[in-house]
């Protein structure tokens, strides 16, 4: 924020933030967020926001999906004022609103808020290699070899079932035909008495 004289830009203290350097005062940290100071807003676990420049915190439909460890984000935000320390910790110097360099990978900022296997707005999508098990819950997919083995086993089981059912039906039909052939013809009804 700009000081009262309008000649120096000062960072906000922890617990507050400002997204507009022309402001003369810092804003209080919004509910469900941590504000390490300056212009940084980090949502609490179970909450998500679209970028570092968004003060709107959204509750995730599955709080566990939005519970990735916030240590990297807090570390980067806290060290953002010191570019050399920030780079040494694997953070981009300016914490780009679109992406952040975390360790050895370049990850979209919103995906850093999501737990493993989740991505997208409010961490509501499953990443490749994961599938939906219940509403807003992602589970790892079975390895291809395991899935192929299960499909083959199911096909063999179905073929055996069809073969057994067909054989049982054929035996039942044979038994019915044999029983019908061995049964004597019914006696005709007696003639009516003469008048």
- The C-alpha atoms of residue 6 and residue 18 are separated, in whole angstroms, by 15
Between 69 and 97, the higher pLDDT residue? 69
Q: For 72-131, what is each residue's pLDDT tens digit?
A: 777 665 554 444 333 334 444 334 444 444 454 556 777 788 898 999 899 999 999 999
Which residue in 35, 90, 46 sits closest to 68, CA to CA?
46
Residue 186: C-alpha distances to residues 115, 189, 191 (Å): 79, 9, 15
| Model confidence at 157: pLDDT above 60 | yes
- pTM to 2 decimal places: 0.61
Rounded to whole angstroms, how far apart are CA atoms 150 and 140?
A: 16
Task: Please state the rounded mean pLDDT for residues 31-46.
Answer: 87
What share of the chain in percent tops pLDDT 90?
28
Over its C-alpha atoms, the chain yields an Rg (Å, rounded) of: 35
pLDDT for res 87: 36
Angle, vertex CA 163, rays to CA 161 and CA 169, nearest 5 = 100
CA distance linking residue 113 with residue 70, whole number of Å? 7
Question: Average pLDDT over the chain, rounded to whole?
Answer: 79
């Amino acid at each position: 924020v700009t000081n009262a004289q309008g000649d120096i830009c000062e960072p906000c203290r922890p617990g507050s933030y400002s997204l507009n350097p022309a402001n003369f005062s810092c804003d209080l940290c919004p509910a469900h967020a941590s504000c390490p100071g300056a212009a940084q807003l980090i949502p609490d676990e179970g909450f998500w926001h679209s970028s570092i420049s968004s003060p709107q915190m959204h509750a995730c439909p599955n709080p566990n999906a939005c519970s990735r460890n916030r240590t990297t984000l807090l570390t980067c935000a806290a060290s953002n004022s010191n570019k050399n320390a920030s780079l040494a910790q694997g953070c981009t110097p300016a914490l780009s609103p679109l992406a952040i360099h975390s360790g050895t990978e370049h990850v979209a900022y919103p995906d850093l808020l999501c737990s493993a296997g989740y991505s997208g707005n409010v961490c509501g999508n499953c990443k490749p290699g994961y599938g939906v098990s219940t509403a807003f819950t992602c589970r790892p997919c079975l390895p291809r070899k395991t899935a192929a083995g299960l499909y083959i086993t199911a096909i063999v089981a179905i073929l055996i079932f069809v073969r057994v059912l067909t054989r049982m039906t054929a035996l039942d039909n044979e038994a019915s035909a044999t029983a019908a052939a061995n049964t004597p013809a019914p006696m005709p009804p007696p003639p009516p008495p003469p008048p």
